[in-house]
Amino acid sequence: DAGVIQSPRHEVTEMGQEVTLRCKPISGHNSLFWYRQTMMRGLELLIYFNNNVPIDDSGMPEDRFSAKMPNASFSTLKIQPSEPRDSAVYFCASSSRTGGDEKLFFGSGTQLSVL
Amino acid sequence: DAKTTQPPSMDCAEGRAANLPCNHSTISGNEYVYWYRQIHSQGPQYIIHGLKNNETNEMASLIITEDRKSSTLILPHATLRDTAVYYCIVRSGNTDKLIFGTGTRLQVFP
């Protein structure tokens, strides 16, 4: 299995531009998570999906952030417009919800720099 | 979810056992203890988890006290590649959310 695949690995953009981060979960997994990591705030859970349905988006910082999961094999996290304070590493993770003690598998992350 | 308390940093000599403590005094009966680690610039990696009993796998052992208020992750023979931030997380079986704290930065030295 290729694991969780994220793209791009690095993204550099200018303030005000739209940014789209992509994630392909592990085949057969039915839960998907988006995290953000910064030095100041550590690892923060932004949103997660079960069976392609958003369950909890309470961690999404503001309306500039949106996430979609159109099917079981693909998810996007979009920032529009981007701001310098959005600079961080964004991780996607997936798991197979089988009874409460499942483990998360993380991708390699997308390093986002907003200038 | 119950909060956890971990020391911010620890050192360990290569080849020796690394024992990483975690306090979770407010843990509930249906909450699991998870350990993940994050090697620099990589995504977090699952290590082990448990509910009540001690657990062992190819990576580590997890010792949970009888009252479940604390646990210890044991890396039996630490290597330089085990240098990472180790996160102890308590999570209810009723939720999918995994909330990371600040973890313990383990430095393994030669």
**Token pair 């210890």: residue:** B72
Please give the share of chain B, as a percent, with pLDDT higher than 90.
80
Question: Which residue numbers in chain A have pLDDT < 50?
Answer: none
Q: Indicate if the alpha-carbon torsion angle B26, B28, B29, B32 is positive or negative.
A: negative
Mutate which: A4, A43, A90, A112, vs B, most B CBs within 10 A = A43
Q: Are strands B9-13 and B104-109 parallel, antiparallel or unpaired?
A: parallel
Position A86 scores a pLDDT of 97
Q: What is the mean pLDDT of residues B93-107?
A: 87
Query: For B49, which of A33, A45, A101 is closest by C-beta distance?
Result: A101
CB pairs under 8 A between A and B: 55
Q: Is B80 helix (H, G, I), strand (E, B) or coil?
A: helix
Residues A77, A112: Cα–Cα separation, whole Å: 12
Sequence-separated (6 or more) residues with CB below 8 Å from residue B106: B9, B10, B11, B12, B18, B20, B78, B82, B83, B84, B85, B86
- Supply the mean pLDDT for chain A: 93
Position B30 scores a pLDDT of 85
Position B1 scores a pLDDT of 61
Q: Are B107 and B83 in contact (CB under 8 A)?
A: yes
**pLDDT over 80 (residue B87):** yes
Q: What is the mean pLDDT of residues B56-85?
A: 96
Query: Looking at residue A44, what DSSP letter applies?
Result: E
Position A98 scores a pLDDT of 65
Joined together, the tokens standing for residue A50 give 């079960």
pLDDT band at B2 (very low <50, low <70, confident <90, very high): low
- Contact between A106 and B93 using a beta-carbon 8 Å cutoff: no
- Contact between A103 and B51 using a beta-carbon 8 Å cutoff: no
Position B79 scores a pLDDT of 97
> Cα torsion at A37, A38, A41, A43 (round to 10°)?
10
Position B50 scores a pLDDT of 92
Query: Residues of B with CB below 8 A from A4's CB?
Result: 43
Taking only the tens place, the pLDDT of each residue in B18-63 is 999 999 999 988 889 999 999 988 999 999 999 998 999 999 999 9
